[in-house]
Amino acid sequence: MKNREPGMTLIVKTITRLTVGLILLYGIYIVLHGHLSPGGGFAGGVIIALSFIHLMLAFGRDAALKKFSQAQASILESLGALMFLSIALLGFLGGYFFFNFFLHKGKPFELFSAGIIPLCNIAISLKVGAGLFAIFAVLVLFKKLGEKEQ
């Protein structure tokens, strides 16, 4: 070990570089098909967060935080919550909370169908994905802060 790089060995880094995009894509697929098949906002959001956590485990803390910093995570998390709330409040256009306000809802079992439910899934996935990544990042950063205090 001459110059210690952050992260794991070359094998892990190579495999991570190959798979991390596929994991992210699979998470997005789960989110977008949430109203048709098992899955949805929470499961897809967890998979999206896991792709970034995978990056952090393989390449070290700084490489992952450069791609997706904590400030960005907190902004996206807040955006998800606000988006979900605004979708729910827009239901008052039709008369009540969480009203499915799209008039043309599309055919069942097609990608563009079910009105507001895919939008809700996207909001939940933003909230869950960013929130879970933020939890992991905070647990990693915790140690650094503790060392600084002493």
Partner 1 sequence: MIEYILCLLLFCIGLYCVLRRRNIIKIIVGLGIIEYAVNLFFVLLGYRHYGRAPILAKDQTITNMVDPIPQALVLTSIVIGLAVTALIVAIAIRIYEKYGTFDITKIRRLKG
The binding track of 120-149 with respect to partner 1, each residue x by CB under 8 A or -, is ------------x--x--xx--xx--x---
Contact 64/145 with Cβ under 8 angstroms? no
Which residue in the block uniquely carries the two structure tokens 């960013």?
130
DSSP letters for 82-145: HHHHHHHHHGGGTTSTT----S----TTSSS-STTHHHHHHHHHHHHHHHHHHHHHHHHHHHHH
Q: Which of 17, 22, 37, 69 binds partner 1 (CB under 8 A)?
A: 37
The binding track of 85-114 with respect to partner 1, each residue x by CB under 8 A or -, is ------------------------x-----
Q: Which of 2, 10, 18, 38 binds partner 1 (CB under 8 A)?
A: 38
Q: How many residues bind partner 1 (CB under 8 A)?
A: 11
Which C-beta is closer to partner 1: that of 16 or that of 114? 114
Contact 127/49 with Cβ under 8 angstroms? no
Question: CB of residue 146 vs partner 1: minimum separation in angstroms?
Answer: 4
